[in-house]
Structure 1
Amino acid sequence: MHFETSVDIDAAPETVWNLLKDVERWPDMTASMDRVEVLDEPFTLGSRARVHQPKLPAAVWTVTAYDESRTFTWESRSPGVTTTGAHEIVPTPDGKSTVRLTLDQKGPLAPVFALLAGRLTRRYVVMEAEGLKAKAEQG
């Protein structure tokens, strides 16, 4: 399964990045997250976080790519499925931001997971993008 969404945000990339990298506060921005615990400080390449989401088992995500102020990618593994989530900020010419979120699931059980939870997963990614936009535009 591959899912991607983009959102234009009326805020500077620095503002958006500060919200995006503060993963423990994501539950303040979206109902798709109950709790996020950073297991390794500071949050950067190699850091892990345990993410609790409604209707899904808790998952540990490991940061596999990190470019300060621009993007981070993290990965979660469960039996038969590897899920990769990427978060990218693209500065716009007017000093604002476009955020692109992608989610990929691979592995022998990925088709089964997509059938059972694909709609929910896609909805959560959209909720996260909309929540980030709303929070960044608040000031």
Structure 2
Amino acid sequence: MAHAYRTSTRVEAPADIVWQVLSDVERMPSWTSSMTSVTLVRPAARIAVGSRVEVLQPGLPQATWEVDGLVEGRGFSWSSTTPGVRTGAAHQVAPVSDAACEVTLVVAQSGMLAGLTNLVQGSRARELVDTELADLKSESEARARDRS
């Protein structure tokens, strides 16, 4: 059984600014309290398909995520596997004008222990996704104001 959570918001910043913020994953802890540390296993300038990323979030165990999809400027997805649970997350940026975009974050869990994991950690995971989205909006809009 799969458990999924999806949330979106309009960001009053150009998609390229949002993408700059979002795709520089190692800097996430500098703009969102939903990430304690984010480290590329093999450091590179940016994430790419196949990149492995160690992520520590408040209230959750450390996890290694592998980027399994990336469309430059528009989004990326990554997944993490623990015994009995596969967690996937997507980060999508869709321009709605030259100065604004819609950002969608999705997290989904599947596997034999997904229901139990969702019961134990689901509300915390959803809270962290909501925090990340709000903080991404705030950081991106501040950078857009600074650019003008």
TM category, shorter: over 0.9
For 1:15 and 1:95, the matched residues in 2 are separated by 10
- Hey, what's the Cα distance between the residues in 2 that align with 1:11 and 1:130? 13
Amino acid at match of 1:104: A
Q: Which consecutive aligned stretches of 4+ in structure 1 deviate over 3 angstroms post-superposition?
A: none
- What's the secondary structure of 1:92's corresponding residue? strand
CA distance in 2, matches of 1:43, 1:73: 11
Q: How many residues align?
A: 139
Q: Deviations over 1:51-101 (max 9, x none)?
A: 011111100000000110011000000010000000000000353111000
In the TM superposition, residue 108 of structure 1 has moved relative to its aligned partner by 0.3
2:81 is aligned to: 77
2:49 aligned residue (36, 45, 48):
45
Equivalent position of 2:22 in the other structure = 20
**2:137 aligns with one of 117, 133, 138:** 133
TM-score after normalising by structure 1? 0.97
Separation of aligned partners in 1, 2:29 and 2:56:
9
Gap regions ≥5 residues in structure 2: 144-148
Matched residues in 2 for 1:100 and 1:54: separation? 21
Say if 2:128 is the partner of 1:124.
yes
* Higher alpha-carbon deviation: 110-119 or 32-41: 32-41
Question: Is it true that 1:3 corresponds to 2:2 in the alignment?
Answer: no
2:106 corresponds to which letter in structure 1? T
Contact between 2:79 and 2:89, CA under 8 Å: does it hold in 1?
yes
Matches within 5 A, 1:45-124: 45-124=49-128
- 1:30 Cα shift? 1.4
Over the residues paired in the alignment, what is the CA RMSD in angstroms? 0.9
Deviation per residue, 1:99-120 (Å, 9 max, x gap): 0000000000000000001000
Alignment partners' CA distance in 2, 1:75 and 1:114: 16
Q: Normalising by the residue count of structure 2, what TM-score does the alignment of the two structures yield? A: 0.91
